[in-house]
Structure 1
Amino acid sequence: MNQETQQVKQEEADPYRWLEKVTGKEALAWVGKQNERALAQLEKDPRYPDAYERILKIYTASDRIPYGRLRAGNVDNFWQDESHTRGIWRRTTLASYASGRPSWNILLDIDALAKAENENWVWKGANCLPPDYRRCIVSLSRGGADAVELREFDTQTKRFVDDGFRLDEAKQWFAWLDADHLLIASPLEGGAKNTSGYPRTVRTWKRGTPLKDARTVFEGPASDAFAFPAVEHSPEGREAFVIKAPDFFHQTVHHLEADGSLHRLPLPDDVDFKGIFKGRVIALLRSNWKTGDKGGLLPAGAVVSVPLAGLLADDLSEAVVIVAPNERVTVTDAVIGSGAVYVTILDQVKGRLIEAVPSTTGWRLDRLGLPEDGTVSVTSSDPFTDAILVNYESFLAPDTLYLVKNAGEPRAIMKLPPRFDASRYVVDQFFAESEDEVKVPYFLVHAKDMKYDSNTPTILYGYGGFEISLTPQYLPPMAIEWLKAGGAWAVANIRGGGEFGPRWHQAALKEKRPIAYADFAAVAWDLIHRKVTSPKRLGIYGRSNGGLLVTATMVRYPKLFGAVAAGVPLTDMLRYHKLLAGASWIGEYGNPDIPEERDFLKTYSPYQNVRADVRYPPIFFITSTRDDRVHPGHARKMAAKMIDQGHEVLYYENTEGGHAGAANLPQRARYDALILVFMMQKLMDADGDQAADGPADAPAVPDEGRPQEAHAPESGAPAQDG
């Protein structure tokens, strides 16, 4: 029997495949039964109603910062509260916004629109045409899915444009070329999809003509993850590009010429293209870049500048570094403003912001005067506005929004009121030693009077993938409730993330993925070793790739934890590439259709490796029927399998919400409150004996050294593939 035939037979043997039918009658009946069981246990807990109300109060508070998008002297904001469940899109002037008490002009009421059209509309944003930003394309989603309907909207008349640009629901992207043309990637009307379900054709679409007649300027292979347009508008003019991306971490950048042809720019194929600043391409490097025989070596992790005219002439002689990383410092982003490039860096996972301005001798760098030991992020910039908006926050310091004018100092214009008494708590940064002796940082937020007696209920949060960094952010409502109840909150900066640049991410790619799980287990062990907590008091929580993290870590290290919460998780790593957007993540995880890559995936895939004869901590799966990114079948199948194996499992599936898990603020509060109460029940109430014993092949936490893994099945292959 050849490998392909064996793989097909293994996939056919999956007894839970029927749960992959998202709206299948039997599958939804199973979901309904599990929802009823989970809500009966969690919502009937006497702590739930008050916790839900307190969390909802924070989410809907009228004194939240109304984060906005700069648009040529105006600021646009999308706002949800108790009176606007679905939300309103509104606009004010920058002067009014900067006063801290803006006067808003409502452009579109999504609640009213949904009611009038009898649709479950969820706002997904508006893309407006510079420089006046009057005409916009609004994206609307049914139930929060990634697929959106596109409609042209006039912000002056506050009406959808008759016979304007409009497309039915699909996963699609676009950019304005000018008032009468869009550069659009859509699978509709003659477009094509790739294996991930995303568009792979990019076309120029003229107003008043059907999309099927639009000129195709690019078509990528079905195996690519993405093909999408990028149009840079500025006072200097317009430059249009098409990005071809075989995966999340590789892309080729093509310049759209006046005749409609494409010119590939001679940039590295793993570059992160950020845009155009005064005729220069700005990009982040993921690997070293040698710019020719006489050129220098530009280091991985740097933000660089190179003239577009030079790139179009294959001349790299003026490529220069703007900001480079070092052992402590990582460049995380570069945002283009009207007068500067703003570079965000992490210094030991703590944020800084640098203003970079070109000069006759290179780039002049000025560090902006913002608070330290937190997270700094540019929330909005605009080439037609002489300012940017910058946010600062830390675990204990509420968000402060700053206005930074060109060559000026940050001015605080809005501040979030404290949501809890931070004086009672402290933040520590520790380093855990992973199995290969690499030091892995993590943050621990706890009460100042916490006793180091191994008895503090602790939630450890992680992600560890896709170059995403977990930086200090003001504690979310669920974490606030947890701390008030006597718990501690930990955040792990494991490999796979971007906390220390490309090398930190690349250390956990594909066959090296298990090092992320070893890092996470090492942080758990460090918390135990420091006598902060114990296995019976330690819970782990993650979403999406973080859901894969916590389920895989649970399967490999079952004795380390007392509870697990997995939100919108991946679990079936042998079929993930065949479910919704999964194929777009092959660059991160590997390809199960390649035998050697399938071999390493099946060593850790949670769904295949969970066993009846190992005692796992109680686990709560929470997902969404309308998630069209990570298939709900991942959570459904693993929950069903574990239930049938006799493990303690709760499962809840929201019928809307998309990959976010919630379509509005009440749903978001419910999501948080359910996880909170689950963790309270398992880590605060119980004696924790679920982690105290088990079969011999699930070792207890070692007395010293790093955590050990649970044994894999003797055959080396999972019981079911697929």
Structure 2
Amino acid sequence: MLFGVKARAEPLRYPDAPRSELVDDYFGTKVADPYRWLEDVDAPQTRAWVAAENALSLPYLAALPERTGLHKRLEQLWNYERFDLPQKRAGKYFFGRNDGLQNQSVLYVQDSADARPRLLLDPNLLSDDGTVALTDYQPSPDGSLLAYATAAAGSDWNVLRVRRVADGVDTGDVLTRVKFSGIAWTRDGKGFFYSRYPAAPPGDGDATFDALANQKLFYHRLGDAQADDPLIAEMPTQPRWLWAGEVTDDGRYLVVSVSPDSGEQNAVWIKDLGGAETPKLDAPFIKLIDNFNADYQLLGNRGSTLYFRTNLDAERGRIVAIDPAKPQPANWRTVVGQQPDTLQSALFAGDEIIALTMHDATSRLQRYTPDGKPLGEIVLPGTGSIPDLSVGGVQLSGHAGDPELFYGYTSFNQPLTPYVYTLDKSSARPFRTVTLSFDPDDYVTEAVFCRSKDGTRIPLFISYRKGTKRNGSNPTMLHAYGGFNIAKMPEFSVPALAWMEGGGVYAQASLRGGSEYGRLWHEAGTLTRKQNVFDDFTAAAQYLIREQWTAPAHLAIRGRSNGGLLIGAEINQHPELFAAALPAVGVMDMLRYQKFTIGSSWAGDYGTSDSASGFRTLYAYSPYHNIRPGTAYPAVLVTTADHDDRVVPGHSFKYAAALQAATSSDGVATGKPVLIRIDANAGHGGGKPIGKLIDEEADKLAFALHFTR
């Protein structure tokens, strides 16, 4: 039997966490913040608390009888050859490959369709413990150079370098202070656009957790010192704005997306670079779209006409053509109008427009002529998704004039498989075949709907091993996110497979706040409407219980980042519904989140406590502030990392300390502890070594299973 029996519950003694008398006054409301001291992650008192918490949680987790079998099985299931989505430039194919248990995937290049792949960049050689990750790469237009980004210890801070493709040797170009940046080569291959933040103040020391402001767009000419890079765009009066540059395939236009925050609204500025000759960096900007009224994503251009996916006057998205000489919306031409399905993204490939759409949280691919005439659908292998799981977050890869389109397909029982679709032959084949150590046909996914508190229909995927009975006693894991216009769609997860293999049910809900049904669906889970997200999740849990998949004594829930916030809010609002909870790297203090690193950019989804109305909304659900002493909380395993510079670890530190002081469920009789697992030399999750992932997931699954069987 894979999983063991429950061990005897023991009383726990939590580390000392002194409560201060600190109280803030928010518009006449006094709010205590007794664990503010835990925000200073480098203070000796905080470090001592972290060490004490790990000294409690790590031995506890290691002793769980379920953990040994789970860890071994996770290693076996993760040990399969897998590939990232390829990028093609000038006949060369660039792609990531992992032989199974490599901490980081290795980048290969294939000089032609028939050539043998050769190693180009191995991130595993950049650190002793596998914690330096390749986070992005872009080949130059002629395929001779590779600009690439690496990050250490899970940080969002990146370093950009350039490597010659022919011999795998770096050129010596090194760019720092880079975070949340793209890489956009000019057509001549002599440089690229990127975004960076100002240098850290003198004496700042470790800048990992610096508050972020004044990002700017620069151009780096190969061989020049970074200090000499020309400034391309900035807005000193708007220090929170974010800048992202793209260059059209023909090299003519620099297209800059200007975002006030991490929301879906952006402006678009363009610069005519003049084509393949030396780019005209000093050409004036044309403010093609100079307001933040909608979302605009570049497809590319045909001559002087630019094509964008937008949700302006089309909540589910449409494709428009814009002439820079006549940029007023009245002159825009709708190429592909709004459809019943949500338009996620689109690009030019060959002589076609390829549109990626969502139908009830599953992917579809549609083909159109450049004038918008439908050419039919590219049929996918099943009911799954085309995710942005590859390095750089690419979902589709292709170029105008090249008939090969690349996409990756995944589902709950199918790991990401890259496909190449030849447009002029209307044929698809796997770019690489993924060999599995399990039979996908052993697993079933049901796509159902539940009704939220206000009657809204919520997609819910329920996956399980064949033969699982609806008897109300299945250990069940419910997962969701619900925010930032991010859709939760079917995708493969080794931990989910291990959970199902052991007899568990794995459920995933697509909540409001995501992008599943367009702009209004997203907005329905933001700001004053954020409670809808929690109600949607509660409805999914109640559906699983009502339909006899599980019961409260057997139901675990998990979510990370914004999803960690979701889990924290849920166990405050409905502690009786769940047996175990796994909030990971969560945004837990909603009154102060905007004060750290990139937090201020989340205001589009959350609002802030800087206004009276924003304070009232956030205070009503903030996980840290709504913990109720004496409540019988589920067993909770909080996870975070000491180098998380996106959702700073102070969120989880304060939340865990408060919950440990409040819960009434951790005695001998009930034995439901509150633990926090704090990973060292790790960040928000991106680029985490496989070894660390396996250790963490073995702890999480063993903990959840222990309290749901």
The TM-score, its normalising length taken from structure 2, stands at 0.86
Shift of 1:13: 4.7
Rounded to whole Å, the distance in 1 between the matches of 2:700 and 2:429 is: 35
Distance 1:626 1:585, change over 3 A: same
- In the alignment, is the contact (CA less than 8 A) between 1:374 and 1:473 conserved in 2? yes
Rounded to whole Å, the distance in 2 between the matches of 1:638 and 1:315 is: 47
- Correspondence for 2:285: 262
Shift of 1:601: 0.5
Alignment of 1:64-143 (within 5 A): 64-81=82-99, 84-96=102-114, 103-114=116-127, 121-130=132-141, 132-143=142-153
Range with bigger deviation, 267-276 or 138-147: 267-276
Distance 1:661 1:90, change over 3 A: closer
State the AA in 1 paired with 2:113: A
Residues 1:271 and 2:295 aligned together: yes
Shift of 1:350: 2.5
Rounded to whole Å, the distance in 2 between the matches of 1:415 and 1:346 is: 25
- Correspondence for 2:345: 333
Shift of 1:517: 0.1
- In the alignment, is the contact (CA less than 8 A) between 2:561 and 2:585 conserved in 1? yes
Residues 1:469 and 2:487 aligned together: yes
The counterpart of 1:324, out of the listed 325, 328, 338, is 338
Alignment of 1:347-362 (within 5 A): 347-359=359-371, 362=372
- In the alignment, is the contact (CA less than 8 A) between 1:350 and 1:471 conserved in 2? yes
State the AA in 1 paired with 2:543: D
Shift of 1:211: 3.8
State the AA in 2 paired with 1:124: T
Shift of 1:625: 1.1
The counterpart of 1:668, out of the listed 693, 701, 705, is 693
Distance 1:148 1:74, change over 3 A: same
Distance 1:433 1:221, change over 3 A: farther
Alignment of 1:232-247 (within 5 A): 232-234=247-249, 236-247=250-261
Rounded to whole Å, the distance in 2 between the matches of 1:460 and 1:74 is: 42
Rounded to whole Å, the distance in 2 between the matches of 1:307 and 1:480 is: 46
Residues 1:16 and 2:31 aligned together: no
Residues 1:176 and 2:202 aligned together: no
Query: What SS is found at the alignment partner of 1:375?
Result: coil
- Correspondence for 1:228: 243
- Correspondence for 1:25: 44
Residues 1:57 and 2:64 aligned together: no
State the AA in 1 paired with 2:336: I
Query: What SS is found at the alignment partner of 2:252?
Result: strand
Distance 1:189 1:481, change over 3 A: closer
State the AA in 2 paired with 1:549: L
What are the superposed Cα offsets for residues 484-528 of structure 1, whole Å, 9 maximum, x if unpaired? 222111110111111111111111110100010001001111111
Shift of 1:646: 4.0
Distance 1:138 1:10, change over 3 A: farther
The counterpart of 1:402, out of the listed 408, 419, 426, is 419
State the AA in 2 paired with 1:440: I
Rounded to whole Å, the distance in 2 between the matches of 1:57 and 1:275 is: 41
Number of equivalent positions: 654
Range with bigger deviation, 619-628 or 103-112: 103-112
Shift of 1:579: 1.7
The counterpart of 1:346, out of the listed 343, 358, 372, is 358
- In the alignment, is the contact (CA less than 8 A) between 2:155 and 2:643 conserved in 1? yes
State the AA in 2 paired with 1:348: D
Q: List gaps (5 residues or longer) in structure 1.
A: 97-101, 289-298, 685-722
Shift of 1:550: 0.9
Rounded to whole Å, the distance in 1 between the matches of 2:463 and 2:347 is: 30
Range with bigger deviation, 4-13 or 138-147: 4-13
What are the superposed Cα offsets for residues 317-338 of structure 1, whole Å, 9 maximum, x if unpaired? 3511415232xx2222213324
Bigger helix share = 1
Range with bigger deviation, 153-162 or 502-511: 153-162
Aligned-pair Cα RMSD in Å? 2.9
- In the alignment, is the contact (CA less than 8 A) between 1:200 and 1:221 conserved in 2? no
Shift of 1:121: 2.6
Rounded to whole Å, the distance in 1 between the matches of 2:253 and 2:333 is: 19
What are the superposed Cα offsets for residues 101-128 of structure 1, whole Å, 9 maximum, x if unpaired? x73211223233335xx99532222222
- In the alignment, is the contact (CA less than 8 A) between 2:131 and 2:689 conserved in 1? no
Which 4+ residue blocks in structure 1 deviate beyond 6 angstroms? 8-12, 190-195
The TM-score, its normalising length taken from structure 1, stands at 0.84
What are the superposed Cα offsets for residues 184-223 of structure 1, whole Å, 9 maximum, x if unpaired? 3212359999996154322344445444444433222565
- Correspondence for 1:369: 379
Query: What SS is found at the alignment partner of 2:694?
Result: helix
- In the alignment, is the contact (CA less than 8 A) between 1:78 and 1:88 conserved in 2? yes
What are the superposed Cα offsets for residues 433-459 of structure 1, whole Å, 9 maximum, x if unpaired? 111111212011124433333211111
Alignment of 1:670-709 (within 5 A): 670-684=695-709
State the AA in 2 paired with 1:18: W
Q: List gaps (5 residues or longer) in structure 2.
A: 1-22, 273-279, 388-394, 665-672
State the AA in 2 paired with 1:175: A
Shift of 1:667: 0.9
Range with bigger deviation, 443-452 or 585-594: 443-452
Rounded to whole Å, the distance in 1 between the matches of 2:61 and 2:456 is: 39
What are the superposed Cα offsets for residues 10-55 of structure 1, whole Å, 9 maximum, x if unpaired? 8995221222123333222222222222221222223323322321
Query: What SS is found at the alignment partner of 2:461?
Result: strand
Shift of 1:182: 3.3
State the AA in 2 paired with 1:401: P
- Correspondence for 1:167: 176
- In the alignment, is the contact (CA less than 8 A) between 2:155 and 2:644 conserved in 1? yes
Query: What SS is found at the alignment partner of 2:587?
Result: coil
